Structure 1
Amino acid sequence: MSHSVTITRTTTSTTNTSYIVLNTGYIKTFPGILKLFQLIIGIAIVTLMAMNYNTNSVYFRGHQELFHFLMATTFMIGTFCLFLACITSLSTGGLIAKTIYELIYHSVAVILLLASSICLLLKLRDYRHDAFMAAAVLGLVNCVLYFISAFLAHRSYRGI
C-alpha cells in the first residue's frame, strides 16, 4: 500500500539565555499574532469588567455582567497558557496546531464569548453603561479572532 508523505521545514529564530529558550519566530506567524491580539483584547475586557463590576448592583441588573466577566477571564487565561507554551518551546507552536485541542478550544471560545457578549448587549438595552458596552463589543471582536483561529486550526488539524 503506497501513500504520499509531505515534509515541511519550519525555520524558527530563538533568543537563547542560559535557562529559557524563546521562540521569537512564533510571534511573527499569523497564528502567533492572532493569539497575541486575543490575549491583549482579553486583558482589556477583564480590566474593563473588573474596574466597573459592582457586587451590590448585580442583583438588580442581572448576571450578564458576571457571565461575560467569567468567560473573558477563562479564555484570557487559556490563551495566555497556549501563547506561553508556543513561545517557550521550539516545537509546541507547530505541534499543537496539528492536534484537535486548538480546534476544540477556539470553537468553545467562540460559542461562549459570543453568548456572553450578546447576553450583555441585550441587557444593556435597558440602561446605558459605556464600560460594559465597550467590554461587550470587544468580546465580539475577540469572537471574530477566535473564529479565525478555529478555522485555521481546522485546516491544519491532522486527524489520524
Structure 2
Amino acid sequence: MELKAKYRHRRGTIADKIRKTIFMTFGENDLPKITTKSSADVIKNWKESYEIKNAYRKFNDDVFCSQILQRCWTSRPSEEQSAFTISVIKYIFNPNIYSIQIKDEGICHYMKKTQKKMNTNEKIQFLKEEFNKEEEEGEEEDEEGEEGRKEKRK
C-alpha cells in the first residue's frame, strides 16, 4: 500500500483534512458537528441519527465524492489517495465504530477493501447495509482465528 508507507507520518493530518472537508462540503445543516474528543455514546447517537444516515447515502452521488477529492488533494488524486479518502469516509460514518478518530488497523481494513474494488472496477457504494455485512465478516474472521489458535495449541 503506497499511501500507507509514503504518507504514514502524515496520515492523521490527511485524515483530519478529509474529515474537515466532509463537514465543509455538507454544511452544518446537513451534517451536525462532532469532534474527535466526543464520548463514544455521543458519537454512537450521532452516527445513528437521520441526518448522518442521509448524508452517508449522498456519497452515492459522484458529485459529493468528487467535491471532497478535489478539495482534499491539490492535483488529481492517485488511486491510493482516492482509496484513502473513501476509506476515511466509510470509517467516519460506520455506526459500529464509536469513534471518528482514524485508527491504523481500521483504516487499513477499509483501504484493502476499497483498493480491491477499484482494481476490479467494482462500483464503490455507500450503503448502511455494508456495515452489517462487515460486522458478520469480522465475526467469521474472529471464529477462524480462534479455531487456528486452538489447532496450534494441540
Establish whether TM, by shorter chain, passes 0.5.
no
Give the TM-score normalised by structure 1.
0.30
Scaled by the length of structure 2, what TM-score is found?
0.31
Greater relative contact order: 1 or 2 (C-alpha under 8 angstroms, separation 6 or more)?
A: 1
Instruction: Compare CA radii of gyration and give the structure with the larger one.
Output: 1
